[in-house]
Amino acid sequence: MKLELGKIKISDVQFGAETKVENGTLFVNKQKIIDLVLEDERLIKADVELARPGESVRIAPVKDVIEPRVKVSGDGGIFPGILDKVKTVGSGRTHALVGATVITCGKIVGFQEGLIDMSGPTAKYTPFSQTNNVCVVIEGRADLDTHAYEEAGRMAGLKVAKYVGEAGRNVEPDEIVTYETKPLLDQIKEYPDLPKIGYVHMLQSQGLLHDTYYYGVDAKVMLPTFMYPTEIMDGAIVSGNCVAPCDKVTTFHHFNNPVIEDLYKRHGKDLNFIGVILTNENVWLMDKERSSDMTAKLCRHLGLDGVIVTEEGYGNPDTDLMMNCKKVSREGVNVVLITDEFPGRDGKSQSVADTVEEADAVVSCGNGNIIEYFPPMDKIIGTLDYIETMIGGYEGSLKEDGSIEAEIQIIIASTIANGYNKLAAQGF
């Protein structure tokens, strides 16, 4: 499967009479976005705010972050099975507005969401302090249960991202990158002397608002499967979860998975990137056993020499991570794990909730329990009402002057366990 990704570089975002890209600036029509969001009767209020790098702006609570993309040619459309018909994506040409995002935020009561600072000492922990953000602030009806509210917020973000992405359809990209993964036997024949490497991509699927969607299917009801990496770049996976902000894999991160990007960069040089094994993170022991058994079976069936495994979340999912590590290793496949750590504020507790002796190659994305000072900002997009109940916040976190003291796990993507961050941990 071959995908051309056209990267249209966005250096600024402004409101305009029409939604378009012109000389590196993304113009968006505010009222059209509001009208699009309010087509969903579950939402009673909507607004659009802009947030640019370096501004004194705090965004909270954040539901999802999405990079606007548009399918220019090839099968299917962006977000198949959700906004477009179910059709296998990952081939043809797609344009991405690189440097721009759509962020959903606002009164998302009861969800474990976090914040983004566009400037100040904590801006360095999130990639979205460096992007030009179209912030969609929503409020749902008071009688909605949390699952309906989550769905309404998720769909609002996806619809706006698709609408904004259309602005790049007829724009000549600044860069075109081609990604290709061939059918298994062809792929192996092409580089017979290179080690065959796969990626085990664990999706958050614990339920109770901890959900991810694969072609519109809730990941907790799926079995491990093989997919082409380019499918992920075309919107086959979207976030619908409300997990700890620091390692929340937003839809943006599915589009821009750094493990996939790095494996492609080395493909044909020192490794043969075979593809992605998609699996889930479960609550019940028998489901964990089933999925890890099948993941190991797929690794053996594909004849892999090595795999990289990433998780989303921490605590309960650490068991899924270790089960995958143990069983895949016992199939004779080398395993490298990527995760983040939560050893407590004093650093003296066990960094992950579970471990196995086979976990002898682990990459750390940092310690989420570190406490930081968040200075007051001139502008708040959304609300600070829930700071003290967010993961990473606590009673007394929010000060009268608008400043915050909290663990960095309150920041969106600060220690994200697929490596899209700037933190690591060093052992002594």
Residue 427 has pLDDT above 60, yes or no: no
Is 167 domain-assigned? yes
* 100: containing domain: 2-410
**Are 391 and 358 in contact, with CB atoms under 8 Å apart?**
no
What per-residue confidence (pLDDT) applies to 139?
Answer: 94
Mean pLDDT of the chain: 95
What total of structural domains would you count in the chain?
1
What per-residue confidence (pLDDT) applies to 112?
Answer: 64
Is 376 domain-assigned? yes
Residue 134 has pLDDT above 90, yes or no: yes
Q: Annotated catalytic sites, by residue?
A: 242
What per-residue confidence (pLDDT) applies to 426?
Answer: 59
For the entire predicted model, the pTM comes to 0.96
Is 416 domain-assigned? no
Q: Where does the pLDDT of residue 111 fall: very low under 50, low under 70, confident under 90, or very high at 90 and above?
A: low
> What is the distance between the terminal CA atoms of the chain, rounded to a whole angstrom?
44
Is 417 domain-assigned? no
Report, as an integer, the average pLDDT of 110-122: 88
What per-residue confidence (pLDDT) applies to 428?
Answer: 45
* Rounded Cα gap, residues 198 and 189, in angstroms: 16
Give the start-end residues of each E strand in 141-260: 175-180, 196-204, 212-214, 217-218, 225-227, 237-239
Is 419 domain-assigned? no
* Rounded Cα gap, residues 193 and 17, in angstroms: 56
231: left (phi over 0), alpha (psi -120 to 50) or beta: alpha
- For residue 182, which of 272, 297, 80, 73 has the smallest C-alpha distance? 272
What per-residue confidence (pLDDT) applies to 110?
Answer: 61
Is 420 domain-assigned? no
For 381-413, the pLDDT digits (tens) are 999 999 999 999 999 999 999 999 999 999 999
CA angle 83, 86, 88 (to 5 degrees): 115
Report, as an integer, the average pLDDT of 140-152: 91
Find residue 180's DSSP bridge partners. Answer: 2
For 257-286, the pLDDT digits (tens) are 999 999 999 999 999 999 999 999 999 999
Is 389 domain-assigned? yes
What per-residue confidence (pLDDT) applies to 303?
Answer: 97
| One-letter amino acid for residue 160 of the chain | V
For 10-66, the pLDDT digits (tens) are 999 999 999 999 999 999 999 999 999 999 999 999 999 999 999 999 999 999 999
Helix extents (H) in 94-214? 146-165, 184-190
For residue 224, is the peptide bond before it cis, meaning its omega torsion is within 30 degrees of 0?
A: no
What per-residue confidence (pLDDT) applies to 243?
Answer: 81
Is 427 domain-assigned? no
Q: Where does the pLDDT of residue 422 fall: very low under 50, low under 70, confident under 90, or very high at 90 and above?
A: confident
